[in-house]
A and B are shown apart, each in its own frame.
Chain A
């Protein structure tokens, strides 16, 4: 009698212990992927998450490339109920870490061998003082130049391999009545063109010294003046209504032949493909003139939250994000390439292939550089200060000397 009772009690105890220990993974995810294509891609992650028993609570906040989301994040952190996972990228991750609010996901990273499948510079962004705190989703390339294939063919122009070639081609196009460069006059777009030009004119080392190290001599140098000179030239190649134009309306200009070129990150590809244009036939993609690869890596940072189920959720989420399946599906839908280097790219389009090859090459050659315009190279205060100068210069007749002076003082003032 006593033994039976003992056995029953023990089994009951065991069952209850295991059910307590088996927490249901939960995650409240703050992100700004709210449009059709991007939302579908995130939905893939959510499906994988639920198929592994997790509950995903969606907290989307669009706008400003994450500005509104960052506002909400601050309020939530101060109120003491931070979301489980947040779409954060670049130095912002380390900034939040310094406030002491991020969680440590090294256990997952090591178990899944992230260090072996991510390029070194990308892995660097995901770490906070040695431990892993964020999971990378993709690699966007910023320094692309897109062109209308027909317009180029009709005017006997090929994709430029140097900025001088670009200038010559643009002058020719302008004479023929075609807007050489389709551009949207918004600060981030000005900055995108600027950094592509800077990389091309100054080279990878110059770029690193100027926009990652913020070396004052480099910022003051004649090379920087040359960059602004080229920007002044570019200003002459945009149409008079460029101010405030959304980036996708500029892409539309290239699509319908009104303009020839656009300098924009790889998400522009999505607009072309959505309109049924074919890469290589209707539109051309190439890296902007110059040596190097400017990347933007989207990622999810894990915040310090209470509760075993939320912690489980973070681990599971991190594992799935860097998992091969999600990396492939997400990036196919979004136009970027996987952060993982061992994902087969067979189903990706030709531009994506070029991107991946270039990334491998620049990784090996040391010219794989973080984009400053898209928040990978510098903290918000510094990158914002630089962008202020770039956009002020582009929208006025400021001289390159003045611009360089303004640049140096703006950077100093932003520390």
Chain B
């Protein structure tokens, strides 16, 4: 960690105070930018429809009510079924957890190979794989539908996991490869001399060092997969729809009466697992970084 303030410790308590205050001021200003929409979402979700219709959208709720939250979780209509988001949560979990684990693992192995086991053409292969990060999902939708139909995975959660793993490989490989490049080659050489093989080196040397990048990768993959709507709606059928499809159904009804408070509550509920991942992973973020630098 960089102790950049140590230099100022003796050159002036006041100077340190000023810089520190400036720091917090800046952080605070940015925090307002980031928190503004959340503030609006939370306050709207706690108002009654009447208040939303008649009041200003930025006001605090005159009367706090949690009815919208209850509706969003278990009562909102997502079609004929009016059971809120609850029935769809499990589908998303069944989808996201395996997909994140598998794509992260594959990415780690790929990154390890490309960064440490240089062979002819490794960089070319890496570049080709990277391009997979840029393909817009709309392009992929129709041919993938065809393929899923042929291999008989259409409409199932396994099919969705399959799709998300395939399109996650580009990113996970990128993250791990860029991280592993900074680990000196001597480490692998020394281990090979000691008689360790490919997987041994990976498991005992690289994995332990990878905590920060595993955190970043998991955060990215979980977010992308959990919040994905396009694949979720096209490759599922009744019974396997993830929570984003349900959220969309609650929020985007075209000609019905819009219940903004329920919409906001539903969006926050749908985001809770991802937020949980951020908070939990964040702890490892701190722990990982002290072990981040490689010494001998």
Is there a direct interface between A and B, measured as CB atoms under 8 Å apart in the complex? yes
Give the residue among B154, B155, B255 with the most A Cβ atoms within 10 A.
B255
Give the residue among A37, A46, A59, A79 with the most B Cβ atoms within 10 A.
A79
CB 8 Å contact bits of B235-262 with A (1 = contact, 0 = none): 1011100000100111111111111000
Residues of chain A contacted by B255 (CB below 8 angstroms): 35, 38, 265, 267, 270
Q: Which of A28, A36, A46, A68 is B256 in contact with, Cβ under 8 Å? A: A36
Whether A35 touches B256, Cβ cut-off 8 Å, given contacts A58-B81, A60-B78, A71-B230, is yes
CB 8 Å contact bits of A5-48 with B (1 = contact, 0 = none): 00000000000000000000000100111111111101100100
Q: Could you tell me if B53 and A68 are in contact, using CB atoms closer than 8 angstroms?
A: no
Within A171-220, the residues touching B (CB, 8 Å) are none
Whether A58 touches B238, Cβ cut-off 8 Å, given contacts A34-B256, A35-B255, A81-B149, is yes
Q: Could you tell me if B256 and A75 are in contact, using CB atoms closer than 8 angstroms?
A: no
Residue A271 interfacial (CB < 8 Å): yes
Q: How far is the CA of A61 from the CA of B249 in the complex (A)?
A: 6
- Contacting chain A: which of B14-22, B59-67, B127-135, B140-148? B140-148
Residue B227 interfacial (CB < 8 Å): no
Q: How far is the CA of A78 from the CA of B234 in the complex (A)?
A: 11
Q: Could you tell me if B149 and A78 are in contact, using CB atoms closer than 8 angstroms?
A: yes
CB 8 Å contact bits of A50-70 with B (1 = contact, 0 = none): 000000111111111110100
Residues of B within 8 A of A (CB): 53-54, 77-82, 141-142, 145-146, 148-149, 154-155, 229-230, 233-235, 237-239, 245, 248-259
Q: Could you tell me if A68 and B257 are in contact, using CB atoms closer than 8 angstroms?
A: no
Whether A79 touches B245, Cβ cut-off 8 Å, given contacts A28-B238, A34-B77, A39-B77, is no
Residue A341 interfacial (CB < 8 Å): no
Q: Which of B146, B238, B252 is A64 in contact with, Cβ under 8 Å? A: B252
Residue of B nearest to A265 (CB): B255
B81 to chain A, nearest CB (A): 6
B25 to chain A, nearest CB (A): 33
Q: How far is the CA of A80 from the CA of B78 in the complex (A)?
A: 25
Residues of chain A contacted by B258 (CB below 8 angstroms): 35, 246, 248
Q: How far is the CA of A246 from the CA of B257 in the complex (A)?
A: 11
Q: Could you tell me if B154 and A79 are in contact, using CB atoms closer than 8 angstroms?
A: yes
Whether A60 touches B149, Cβ cut-off 8 Å, given contacts A35-B256, A71-B234, is no
Within A268-310, the residues touching B (CB, 8 Å) are 270-271, 274-275
Q: Could you tell me if B248 and A81 are in contact, using CB atoms closer than 8 angstroms?
A: no
Residue of B nearest to A66 (CB): B254
DSSP class of A's interface residues: helix, strand, loop or mixed? mixed
Q: Which of B81, B146, B254 is A62 in contact with, Cβ under 8 Å? A: B254
Residue of A nearest to B147 (CB): A79
Residue of B nearest to A251 (CB): B257
Residues of chain B contacted by A42 (CB below 8 angstroms): 79-80
Q: Could you tell me if B80 and A63 are in contact, using CB atoms closer than 8 angstroms?
A: no
Whether A37 touches B248, Cβ cut-off 8 Å, given contacts A75-B141, A81-B154, is no
Closest 5 A-B residue pairs measured CB to CB?
A: A35-B256, A60-B79, A35-B253, A79-B149, A75-B234
Residue A92 interfacial (CB < 8 Å): no
Q: How far is the CA of A78 from the CA of B237 in the complex (A)?
A: 14
Q: Could you tell me if B142 and A39 are in contact, using CB atoms closer than 8 angstroms?
A: no
Give the residue among B245, B249, B258 with the most A Cβ atoms within 10 A.
B249
Q: Could you tell me if B146 and A78 are in contact, using CB atoms closer than 8 angstroms?
A: yes
Q: How far is the CA of A337 from the CA of B147 in the complex (A)?
A: 43
Return 7 A-B CB contacts under 8 Å, by A number.
Answer: A33-B79, A34-B252, A42-B79, A57-B238, A71-B233, A78-B146, A270-B255
B257 to chain A, nearest CB (A): 5
Q: Could you tell me if A34 and B148 are in contact, using CB atoms closer than 8 angstroms?
A: no
